[in-house]
Structure 1
Amino acid sequence: MTQTTTQYLDSLLSLYTPPSTYFDKARTHRSGIEVRLDTWLGVKEMFETGSLRHGTGVRFYSDVDYIVSLKGTRPTSTTALNNVRDALKDKYPNTTVRVARPAVVCEFAKGDETVEVVPAFAAEGGGYWIPDPKTGEWMKTHPKDHNAYVNEVNKSHSGGAKKLARLTKTWKYKRSVPVSSCYLEMRAAKYADGESYWSLPQDIYGYFKHLQNISLASLNDPTGLGSRFNAYSSESNKADALSKLDTAVGRARKAKDYYLAGNNADAIAQYKLLFAH
């Protein structure tokens, strides 16, 4: 039996949805990280965040992400990152530990169990200050509120917001697009929140076209609490991302048109090009 367009997209989502046990090995490093950082720097709290926590992680690509709220006076973001890096390098001398704003990345098991640790300082009135990848300063974020926002929006359209976020992140990883995963997720939730009718093949195109129309412009925090979400960390990354986005829009448009014409085979062929699958 010929596969339909929606069946293909469902199979793609299933392939790149991490099983519940996918990150268990990476999570085993949490205690050692927290104890070392508490000993060296002082830890107020440490909690899981990012796409894994939000339910938008991409199998084979997403890592375990933690925010670690540190004690003491907030230094420069560079100092904070270097302090966390040095503490973890001392703890894990045989593991690659490096700074990749806004996190310190620990590549356990040669990268098979990667953990990203974001240093943070509690902000007055709520939220946290974390390193800003674009400016090199600090940015304010409310990760727990962002998670709640995405979950609330996702109740509409049969979970459309998270499906759209996972698919666009799959595009990011498979096509090596230098754009923030967090930005794609929050933009996807914002896009879904404004849609009254939902059709995944049409909305994949609609979302990519929206990103193209706004040229990956920064996004005001939809919760109204934190700093703006930036899509890229440099102008060269912006140019690369926009070029790849132009290609994605063209392929998504063709896929949508073939889908509406009832031509499943050609629609699926365009999606295979779009997602490098």
Structure 2
Amino acid sequence: MPLTVEDAFDQFLPKLSTSRQETQSAASHRASVEARLKSDFGLVTMFRTGSFGAATNVRGQSDVDYFAVIPRANLKQDSGRTLASVAESMRARFPSTANIRVNGPGVQIPFGDEGAERVEIIPVDETGKTMLGFRQFDMPDGLGGWKFSAPESHKAWVDSLDTKLNGKLKPLIRLLKAWKFYRNAPIRSFYLEMRAAALMRKENVILYDIDLKNILAALWSDQLADVSDPRFPDDSFVLTACSSETSRVDALSKLSNAALWSGQAMNEKNASRPGAAIAKWNLVFSDQFPKYGLL
């Protein structure tokens, strides 16, 4: 029964975390996918990445992403042709699963409607190690080429910041992604994760309502600008928020509302009106947030 904004966030966060059923769903098809990729492409290894890999996924919303490490000789120079071949292989293996398709840098296999039942396979070539000793890869860039990626390095960076911030950075990122999903804001989850981590890296403590408001305000202030990858700031790697200008316009419209409502929520809290503040957070989260004074 949340009577304060802090209580409401404490009640909300567990509802965003992975359920046991999701964990089981995420693992249930992995062996079959791996076996087919080994047969058709000589798969070396496959590991979970993305929101599930970073433990910042949102229950019922986040896909399960895998990097599928394939020998370079079995990849095509045109990454789009590689993705088409992987999609064809998965359709042959799972003929009763509809709408297996190329989706961005990977191939999506929608085993079900829930997030954890949507598997995304990203074919990659392992190219060596970063300066800090993490594996680095070339992955499809969405334009037929290949681009650098080092997800284990990014994960280690977020893990270290999360430890410094007493385990509250990942829940804060999960809140930001929950807003994205509940409001259908077409922003890349990886962009949100890296922006939130970068904005919080100089902080010593996280207060969910204050820091979420500040992140939304910062994203609005710079209009979802392209930014340097904070993990590799000297290497000209750029993070882009949206897949197209049309998506960016849509995302900015929804971000404008979220920044406004979260600011109003803080004003209501500071005026000792927690019920009104919680109502504003319910606008941010599309009526998924706990209601004031109710279980």
Pairwise same-fold verdict (TM > 0.5): yes
Residues 212 and 136 of structure 1: is their aligned pair in 2 closer, same or farther, counting only changes over 3 Å? Answer: farther
| Conserved 8 A contact 1:160-1:192 | no
Provide the secondary structure at the position in 1 that maps to 2:96: coil
**Is 1:166–2:170 an aligned residue pair?**
no
Shift of 1:130: 1.2
**Is 1:108–2:106 an aligned residue pair?**
no
CA distance, structure 2, for counterparts of residue 216 and residue 202 of structure 1 = 20
Question: Which residue of 2 is the match for residue 243 of structure 1?
Answer: 253
Q: CA RMSD in A?
A: 1.9
Shift of 1:197: 4.8
Question: Which residue of 1 is the match for residue 277 of structure 2?
Answer: 267
CA distance, structure 2, for counterparts of residue 136 and residue 206 of structure 1 = 37
> How many correspondences in the alignment?
276
* Matching residue within 62, 72, 82 for 1:80: 82
* Matching residue within 185, 189, 200 for 2:193: 185
Shift of 1:20: 4.5
One-letter code aligned to 2:101: R
| Conserved 8 A contact 1:95-1:110 | no
TM-score, with structure 2 as normaliser: 0.88
Shift of 1:172: 0.8
| Conserved 8 A contact 1:201-1:259 | no
Of stretches 152-161 and 168-177 in structure 1, the one that deviates more from structure 2 is: 152-161
Residues 156 and 20 of structure 1: is their aligned pair in 2 closer, same or farther, counting only changes over 3 Å? Answer: farther
| Cα shift readout 1:112-162 (whole Å, capped 9, x = no counterpart) | 7221111111124441111224x5532211111111111111123332321
| Conserved 8 A contact 2:51-2:62 | yes
Percent of pairs with identical residues: 32
CA distance, structure 2, for counterparts of residue 64 and residue 250 of structure 1 = 32
One-letter code aligned to 2:127: A
Shift of 1:32: 0.9
Provide the secondary structure at the position in 2 that maps to 1:127: strand
Summarize the alignment of residues 214-253 of structure 1 with structure 2, pairs less than 5 Å apart: 214-224=222-232, 227-253=237-263
Structure 1: runs of 5+ lacking an equivalent: none
Stretches of 4+ aligned residues off by more than 6 angstroms = none
CA distance, structure 1, for counterparts of residue 170 and residue 113 of structure 2 = 29
Structure 2: runs of 5+ lacking an equivalent: 130-134, 289-295
CA distance, structure 1, for counterparts of residue 21 and residue 54 of structure 2 = 15
CA distance, structure 1, for counterparts of residue 202 and residue 216 of structure 2 = 15
Higher relative contact order (CA 8 A, sep 6+): 2
**Is 1:91–2:93 an aligned residue pair?**
yes
Shift of 1:5: 0.2
One-letter code aligned to 1:270: K
Summarize the alignment of residues 150-165 of structure 1 with structure 2, pairs less than 5 Å apart: 150-165=158-173
Provide the secondary structure at the position in 2 that maps to 1:79: helix
CA distance, structure 2, for counterparts of residue 195 and residue 237 of structure 1 = 31
